[in-house]
Amino acid sequence: MSRTLWTGDDGVLRTIDQTALPFERRELALRTVDDCDRAIREMQVRGAPLIGAVGAYGLALALRVDASDGALRRAAERLAAARPTAVNLRWALDRVRERVAAAEPGLRAALAWDEAGRICDEDVACNASIGEQGARLLRALAEQRSVLAGVAGADALALNLLTHCNAGRIATVDHGTALAPIYLLHAEGVPVHVWVDETRPRNQGAALTAWELAERGVPHTVIADNAGGLLMMQGRVDAVIVGCDRVAANGDVANKVGTYLKALAAHDNGVPFYVACPVSTIDPATPDGASIPIEERSAREVTHVAGALDDGSRANLRVVPEGSAVANPAFDVTPARLVTALITERGICEASSAGLRAVLAAGSQ
């Protein structure tokens, strides 16, 4: 299966317009920094790692027009502001800036384009490794549950995992983070079934996670966001596995709003709660969850639901009375104490300052 972000000899960046999914697989050409900025802000591309990769290419496209120090700084600041919670965007922009900083202006755009390509290649490798690391954990759970032995019972024929939002292939350059181990187990023939939270207000679960699981033939069931607690109480969830937009230095994690409630329910019911992310999502400069900026998005995402009518035409339907006040925080923070473990490309670690320090140090050896 191909990558979600690709370039050609024409110097144009191409991706899938995620606002058209699951109804249409529409390609999007990004030719300028404006195109990249718009695609990130309007969530045509989304998911922490993919946002970072598009931001990096956006900076390269800006440098094609003006490669001065001032233009580099302005473009980086503008792109970084497009989605404030996911730290991968700032991380990728910083990487490109560092790569080009000492170069003369005439060489900068090409260097930045090359660095963006490296970020993409590394993302693919990271996520493949997250898949391996997470699959080890999930295989062990499957063995405990005797899923592999095929013990009889209501949900006993599959390992039941619950995920929130979309941390799959299309949130990254390839493989995904939270979904990467699931794809591996499925490919190995381990029976897996995924409970997919719809993920209001933008429905990334219902629209995107369900779409990509279906594309791979992974059994799944879409549920309303509020159903997960009951399913956990009924013993129908073996583990929760989600992606992440930023891990603070103390192990608190920010992810799509609603994640925290799933973590609380998992904790109350003794269900393991795993967070899968590349090391680039760890932000040692942010001390704790309270310091993570939470993106506040448009009220329209709450007042209206986007979908397709029975005749296939697209529609935005109002579901909130005119005049009601609306708030739309797009992310929430799950305290470290509710996270069973982080799954990174460098291994499994505790969500704690010591655990994070160890995993960060593992890369510098």
Q: Does the protein bind ligand MRU through residue 344 (CB under 6 A)?
A: no
Alpha-carbon distance of 323 to 349, in angstroms, equals 47
Q: Does the protein bind ligand MRU through residue 133 (CB under 6 A)?
A: no
CB of 100 to ligand MRU, least distance (A): 26
Q: Does the protein bind ligand MRU through residue 22 (CB under 6 A)?
A: no
CB of 56 to ligand MRU, least distance (A): 16
The torsion angles phi and psi of 213, rounded to 5 degrees, stand at -65, -40
Among 44, 133, 204, 334, binds ligand MRU (CB under 6 A): 204
CB of 168 to ligand MRU, least distance (A): 7
Among 134, 243, 335, 355, binds ligand MRU (CB under 6 A): 243
Active-site hit among 225, 245, 252, 332 = 245
Site string for ligand MRU, 46-65 (x = CB under 6 A): xxxx----------------
Residue, CB closest to ligand MRU: 243
Alpha-carbon distance of 129 to 61, in angstroms, equals 30
Site string for ligand MRU, 75-94 (x = CB under 6 A): -----------x--------
- Considering beta carbons, is residue 49 or 355 the nearer one to ligand MRU? 49
CB of 44 to ligand MRU, least distance (A): 11
Among 15, 19, 129, 177, binds ligand MRU (CB under 6 A): 177
Among 256, 303, 338, 344, binds ligand MRU (CB under 6 A): 256
3-state secondary structure the chain: CCCCEEECCCCCEEEECCCCCCCCCCEEEECCHHHHHHHHHCCCCCCHHHHHHHHHHHHHHHHHHCCCHHHHHHHHHHHHCCCCCCHHHHHHHHHHHHHHCCCCHHHHHHHHHHHHHHHHHHHHHHHHHHHHHHHHHHHHHHHHCCCCCCCCCCCCCCEEEEECCCCCHHHCCCCCCCHHHHHHHHHHCCCEEEEEECCCCCCHHHHHHHHHHHHHCCCEEEECHHHHHHHHHCCCCCEEEECCCEEECCCCEEEECCHHHHHHHHHHCCCCEEEECCHHHEECCCCCHHHCCCCECCCHHHHEEEEECCCCCEEEEECCCCCCCCCCECEEEECHHHCCEEEECCEEECCCHHHHHHHHHHHCC
Mark the segment that binds ligand MRU (CB under 6 A) among 25-33, 165-173, 180-188, 345-353.
Answer: 165-173
- Considering beta carbons, is residue 235 or 272 the nearer one to ligand MRU? 272
Q: Does the protein bind ligand MRU through residue 134 (CB under 6 A)?
A: no
Q: Is 123 a catalytic residue?
A: no
- Considering beta carbons, is residue 48 or 93 the nearer one to ligand MRU? 48
Residue list 265-324, contact with ligand MRU (CB under 6 A): none
Q: By the criterion CB under 6 A, which residues form the site for ligand MRU?
A: 46-49, 86, 165, 167, 171-172, 177, 204, 243-245, 255-256, 330
Q: Give the residue numbers annotated as catalytic, written as ranges.
A: 245
